[in-house]
């Protein structure tokens, strides 16, 4: 974080090159290209149906593109095309170097096992086997996401929506991933719960120097968390730039419409 010159020179972590996806005659995502660097937060904004979530699935290798490719710089420094990774390699990436925070925590958690096990499971997947250490690390992470450690043995189905979302974040970050995908992480939460979660995400992202691709339709979330935004409409990126540039000086008609639709706080 401190060494800015290194930031100037390093290689991108994730590169999307002319990514497209069509379902029959419907193009959900057309010709999307960008590079994402370590520590950089990119927000993808746009309304429902603009192709945001499809793009997120393409980037995280959950969906195969109809055209173009995605490459990721692995921990050994070598960039690999996601399409050439085997299923086992891809799953390993997902368990270690990547995180994925779903809008609905039930999709990212195992609702019937304890909170401690939800966090510990990711550690066991990367070879941790000392029960005491796993439990200690899980407790640490619950504290970091502001969950009372006394609740460690309770299953997330007994948690509130905000707590579930914070638990999902702990589960994702415990393996110290370098890249985290987030799909509307604050969607469906009360406004006060949202503010707390955003604040927590903001500090964790900075502390851990995470690269993040976050899909949101909420421009306030984009402003608070992201360095750069891509505005999508009809599967295309119609405007991109520094977050404050795009939100304070929007150029495209659609972006101006989105920005002007925000209710004043």
Partner 1 sequence: MTAMIDITDAKKTFTMHLQGGIELPVVRGVTFQVNPGECVVLSGPSGAGKSSILKMIFGNYRCDSGRIGIRHRGALIDLATAEPRQVLNVRRATIGYVSQFLRAVPRVATIDVVAEPLIVNGMARAEAQQRAGNLLHRLNIPERLWQLPPATFSGGEQQRVNIARGFISDLPILLLDEPTASLDAANRAVVVELIAEKKRQGVAMVAIVHDDEIRHLIADRIVDVTSFAAAA
Interface residues toward partner 1, by CB under 8 A = 1-5, 7-8, 37, 40, 195-196, 198-199, 202, 206, 224, 227-228, 241-242, 244-245, 248-249, 251-253, 256-257, 260
User: Residue 84 or 261: which CB sits closer to partner 1?
Assistant: 261
Q: HSE, CB side, 13 Å, CA atoms: give it for residue 207.
A: 9
* Cβ at position 238, least distance to partner 1 in Å: 12
- Measured from the CB atom, is 42 or 138 closer to partner 1? 42
The structure tokens 């550690």 sit at: 123
Nearer to partner 1, 170 or 258 (CB): 258
Query: CB of residue 39 vs partner 1: minimum separation in angstroms?
Result: 10
User: For the sheet containing 236-242, what is the strand order?
Assistant: 98-101, 179-183, 211-216, 41-45, 228-233, 236-242
Which residue, 234 or 241, is less far from partner 1 as judged by CB?
241
Nearer to partner 1 (CB atom), residue 27 or residue 259: 259
DSSP letter at 65 equals -
Beta carbon of residue 253, minimum distance to partner 1 (angstroms, whole number):
4
In the complex, least distance from residue 188 CB atom to partner 1, rounded to whole angstroms? 19
Q: CB of 157 within 8 A of CB of 112? A: yes
Which one, 81 or 248, has the nearer CB to partner 1? 248
d(CA 91, CA 100): 12
Tokens 């309770």 belong to which residue? 154
Structural contact between residues 109 and 118, judged by C-beta atoms closer than 8 angstroms: yes
Sign of the alpha-carbon dihedral angle for 29, 34, 39, 42: negative
In 15-174, alpha helices (H)? 52-59, 87-96, 105-108, 115-125, 131-144, 161-173
Residue 212: CB minimum distance to partner 1, A: 15
Residue pair 212/199 in contact by the 8 Å Cβ criterion: no
**Least distance between partner 1 and beta carbon 6 (Å):** 11
């Amino acid at each position: 974080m401190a060494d800015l010159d290194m930031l100037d020179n390093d290689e991108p972590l994730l590169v999307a090159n002319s990514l497209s996806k069509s379902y029959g005659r419907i193009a959900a995502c057309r010709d999307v290209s960008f590079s994402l660097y370590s520590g950089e937060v990119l927000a993808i904004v746009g309304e429902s149906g603009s192709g945001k979530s499809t793009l997120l699935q393409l980037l995280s290798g959950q969906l195969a593109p109809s055209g173009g490719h995605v490459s990721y710089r692995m921990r050994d420094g070598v960039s690999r095309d996601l399409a050439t990774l085997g299923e086992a390699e891809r799953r390993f990436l997902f368990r270690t170097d990547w995180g994925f925070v779903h809008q609905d925590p039930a999709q990212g958690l195992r609702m019937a096992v304890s909170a401690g096990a939800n966090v510990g499971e990711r550690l066991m997947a990367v070879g941790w086997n000392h029960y005491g250490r796993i439990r200690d690390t899980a407790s640490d992470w619950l504290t970091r996401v502001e969950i009372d450690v006394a609740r460690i043995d309770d299953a997330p189905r007994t948690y509130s929506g905000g707590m579930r979302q914070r638990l999902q974040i702990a589960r994702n970050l415990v393996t110290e991933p370098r890249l985290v995908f987030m799909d509307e992480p604050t969607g469906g939460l009360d406004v006060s719960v949202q503010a707390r979660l955003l604040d927590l995400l903001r500090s964790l992202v900075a502390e851990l120097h995470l690269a993040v691709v976050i899909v949101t339709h909420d421009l306030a979330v984009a402003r608070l968390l992201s360095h750069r935004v891509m505005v999508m409409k009809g599967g295309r990126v119609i405007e991109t730039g520094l977050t404050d540039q795009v939100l304070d000086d929007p150029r495209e008609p659609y972006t101006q419409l989105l920005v002007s639709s925000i209710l004043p706080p």
